[in-house]
Amino acid sequence: MIFNKSPFDDIKNILEHIDAFSESSSLPAAEIHTDKLWDVITNCRHDIPYEYGEDDASSFKKAAWFILWFVNISPIATRFYTGDHPLAKFKTNAVIAFDIGLSVIENSVLHGNNGSNEKVENPISLSDHAYRDVLEALSKPIRPEEHFRAWSLFLEQLAYKTNRHCEYPDRNYYPDSE
């Protein structure tokens, strides 16, 4: 979906995702500041804080980096939820960023240290309560460089919850790691 060879493909995919999300949820069409969306993609494609660079970053790292930049720049001007809707207190940009981030991870292939490849094949799920907590956290001020590791780890553990086959073998776990 994102991190394609062309940033224009990323923009197109994001816009299509936002349209599909709002249509399937019977929400108003989103007003999007395309200059801000371009800034999101530009920032995502440069200086990902991973020592091996963007090309070798896992889907967790890419999704976290995207989510953080998306909520930081906030390209969507439309408020999807209002009034007494349970999601009204959260930013639309948080809702969309998290949804796109999960889409990036689902069906991705993870490359293990031992040369194995594991597909994230089961949908990622979380409780309504946890979902609202995530949206609340993403609706607060975000500094991508400072929050990157924590969000990468959170997304990784969230994916492992429903895709146990993707986790590293038990011998690589603290406190017994080698």
Average pLDDT of the residues of the chain: 89
Asked if the structure places residue 1 within a domain, the reply is no
Tell me, yes or no, whether 17 lies in a domain.
yes
The residue-averaged pLDDT of 67-85 equals 95
**What per-residue confidence (pLDDT) applies to 49?**
83
Is 90 exceeded by the pLDDT of residue 98? yes
**The predicted structure's pLDDT at residue 112:** 67
As to burial, measured by CB atoms within 10 angstroms (0-12 exposed, 13-18 middle, 19+ buried), residue 78 is middle
Q: Is the pTM of this model over 0.85?
A: yes
Average pLDDT over residues 18-23: 94
Is residue 177 situated within a structural domain? no
Query: Does residue 97 belong to any structural domain of this protein?
Result: yes
Tally the domains of the chain.
1
pLDDT at residue 58, rounded to an integer: 86
Give how far Cα 23 sits from Cα of 17, 81, 145, Å: 10, 14, 33
User: Would residue 174 count as lying in a domain?
Assistant: no
Share of residues in the chain with pLDDT > 90 (%) = 67
Domain that holds residue 161: 7-166
Query: Per the domain annotation, does 77 fall within a domain?
Result: yes
Instruction: Confirm whether 135 is domain-assigned.
Output: yes
- Cα separation of 44 and 174, whole Å? 31
